[in-house]
């Protein structure tokens, strides 16, 4: 090599700045998982494989983590018949089983509020702890509340890290690996629909639902927020949410808001429909109606 053309010796200062830049670059690209929302599909697939291995090891049973995408032309919506609900709480427990909620400490995505018929829907008069021998109780009606999947969601807006967002099919989801647990979304939610893992969640091994979705019912860690996803792992493959199927009185309805022939559109067009706290302009995709 021609000595004249040799590059000048790298000064210590130059070396240090290059090293610093390289280190910063390394940290930026390689430092743990980035937001699942931004992850390219190939990297997501690899990540989900790791998750499956991790869960399978942790629970000692094969766990599948799907990444079923939204279906084009579909916006999910839900309707609940207040004149039918008897407050039996079958939905609460079906949801816990389906969506791998912690048994201890207890996390429940659905809260059934017992209400007085002479007070109407008044939250300050509601009681989620009713426990008579039989339901429905005379003079009472029941309002089950879970995530209302708002179109103008106050919870996603406030998240400081962008760890929660609305999917193209209208489901508000949380990235459990990106949530820092600040609970600002819980303060922002007018429906008490968001729940925090105050301690490490526990699920008995034989009760784990091993068919999971990465934005839905996969096992969570302590210190993160979770909520109803309309059973994203079921509805994106055409099934009904677990609570719809289990409801013994058929009070729960579900379907595609964009399909004029769907059950949900039938309800909206033919029944008396209301949404909770309408004045907050959250525009829920969870409707309550009177079937009779």
* Residue ranges in 49-88 that form contacts with other proteins under rule CB under 8 A: 71-74, 86-88
126 contributes a contact to other proteins by CB under 8 A: yes
Among positions 267, 284, 285, 287, the unique one binding other proteins when judged by CB under 8 A: 267
Please report, as residue ranges, which positions from 155 to 184 form the binding site for other proteins (by CB under 8 A): 157-163, 178-184
Segment contacting other proteins by CB under 8 A, of 29-37, 41-49, 51-59, 204-212: 29-37
CB-CB neighbours of 158 under 10 Å: 15
105 contributes a contact to other proteins by CB under 8 A: yes
Cα(8)–Cα(28) distance, integer angstroms: 30
b/e string for 80-94 if b means 16 or more Cβ within 10 A?
bbbebbbbbbebbbb
Closest contact distance (angstroms) between CB of 2 and other proteins is 37
What are the residues facing 260 on neighbouring strands? Answer: none
Query: Residue 213: what are its φ and ψ, rounded to 5°?
Result: -125, 145
268 contributes a contact to other proteins by CB under 8 A: no
Cα(33)–Cα(251) distance, integer angstroms: 41
The four Cα atoms 101, 143, 153, 280 give a dihedral, to 10 degrees, of -150
Among positions 209, 211, 263, 275, the unique one binding other proteins when judged by CB under 8 A: 263
Closer Cβ to other proteins, 60 or 132, answer by number: 132
Closer Cβ to other proteins, 56 or 276, answer by number: 276
């Amino acid at each position: 090599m021609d000595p004249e053309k040799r590059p000048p010796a790298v000064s210590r200062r130059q070396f240090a700045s290059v090293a610093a830049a390289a280190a910063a670059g390394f940290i930026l690209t390689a430092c743990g998982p980035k937001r699942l929302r931004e992850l390219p599909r190939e990297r997501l697939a690899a990540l989900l494989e790791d998750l499956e291995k991790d869960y399978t090891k942790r629970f000692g049973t094969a766990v599948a983590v799907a990444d079923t995408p939204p279906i084009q032309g579909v916006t999910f919506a839900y309707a609940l018949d207040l004149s039918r609900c008897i407050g039996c709480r079958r939905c609460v427990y079906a949801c816990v089983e389906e969506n791998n909620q912690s048994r201890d400490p207890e996390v429940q995505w659905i809260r059934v509020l017992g209400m007085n018929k002479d007070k109407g829907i008044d939250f300050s008069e509601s009681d989620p702890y009713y426990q008579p021998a039989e339901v429905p109780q005379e003079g009472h009606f029941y309002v089950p509340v879970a995530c209302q999947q708002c179109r103008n969601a106050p919870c996603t807006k406030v998240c400081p890290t962008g760890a929660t967002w609305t999917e193209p099919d209208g489901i508000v989801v949380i990235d459990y690996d990106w949530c820092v647990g600040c609970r600002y979304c819980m303060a922002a939610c007018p429906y008490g629909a968001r729940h925090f893992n105050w301690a490490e969640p526990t699920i008995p091994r034989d009760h784990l639902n091993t068919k999971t979705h990465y934005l839905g019912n996969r096992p969570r860690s302590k210190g993160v927020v979770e909520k109803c996803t309309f059973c994203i792992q079921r509805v994106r493959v055409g099934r009904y949410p677990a609570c719809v199927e289990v409801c013994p009185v058929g009070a729960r309805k579900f379907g595609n808001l964009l399909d004029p022939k769907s059950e949900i559109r039938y309800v909206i067009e033919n029944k008396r429909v209301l949404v909770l706290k309408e004045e907050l302009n959250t525009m829920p995709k969870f409707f309550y109606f009177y079937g009779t």
